[in-house]
Amino acid sequence: MARAMDTAALHPEIRDAIVKLPRLPFASRVLLPVARTIYDFASRSKVLDGVEVSSISTGENDLVMYRRTANPTDAGVLWIYGGGYLAGKPEHLNRLASQVALETGATVFVPRYRLAPRNPFPAAFEDCKSAWLWLVDNAATLGIDNNRLAIGGNSAGGGLAANLANWARDGSRLQPVAQILFYPMLDDRTAGDRSLDDLGNFIWDNKANHAAWSAYLSPHQPGSESLPKDAAAARCEELGDLPPTWIGICSLDLFADEDERYAQRLQDAGVTCLVEREDGVPHAFEAICPDAEISQAFVGSAIAFLKDALE
């Protein structure tokens, strides 16, 4: 069950940083521009040495490409950033994307996608689908083997990545060899449970979650009896025949329960699913405290899983 804020429950390595972090007003439509500005500033990260970064415009998509300068492999990864469908940009993944490129040799592509509330569903998902199809169609030109393509995502980006894998399977399109989901935002029904509003979770609470899902799903409401197909990955009724999956779960995250349920459903459907569950950490802790040992172990687990899948 999602837990209320209790600073004593935080892992000692990250406690001070999390306690000092300001709560952003994502729950307020009026203050959303302020929340975005602060989020964009706070989420900056640096590209690691040994990785070349370039921008690509496909005509339909803008992507940022991260490639190891020394002996890159012919593997590729489409990685989608988070921000509650309300905020975010590719550069927020500078550190993670360059670390993935360095340690796996894969070239990482981070697509820019349209944000709610100006662009509700299916805008973000259509942008991610378009980016995946472009990558598949242009893999040979990019020096990438179509049989060595994976997807990943953080938070809302994890939800989009999960939907992308479901969509690719349902349409008999090229499937990724793996999906890597960092604390994915999968289930609008969490937002629809207003009893969770008073828990006050660290980093991302259910008031912000409700505002985000409401903006993304408009005119539908989170928790509605039915939603358009591909609007929320947890609504997918059949999870069989999906690629091997790594799911990172944070014990103090609002999404912990929905992520645990999704992982169990994947396993029940016969999908290889490795769950990395970190205790005493909130949503996006590894991005806030990237040098902490617990953060490095979390990211290291995902990269090791991805590397094995790409070989």
Name the active-site residue from 92, 210, 220, 283.
283
| Active-site residue, 155 included | yes
Report d(CA 161, CA 165) in Å as an integer.
6
Answer whether the bond into residue 120 is a cis peptide, omega within 30°: no
End-to-end CA distance of the chain: 37
E strands along 139-290, which residues? 149-154, 179-182, 245-250, 273-278
- CA torsion sign, 264 to 266 to 270 to 272? negative
| Active-site residue, 210 included | no
Name the active-site residue from 155, 210, 230, 259.
155
DSSP assignment, residue 140?
T
Is 35 in a helix, a strand, or coil?
helix
| Active-site residue, 253 included | yes
Q: Which of 275, 300, 274 is nearest to 286 (CA)?
A: 300
Name the active-site residue from 187, 205, 253, 259.
253
Residues labelled as active-site residues: 155, 253, 283
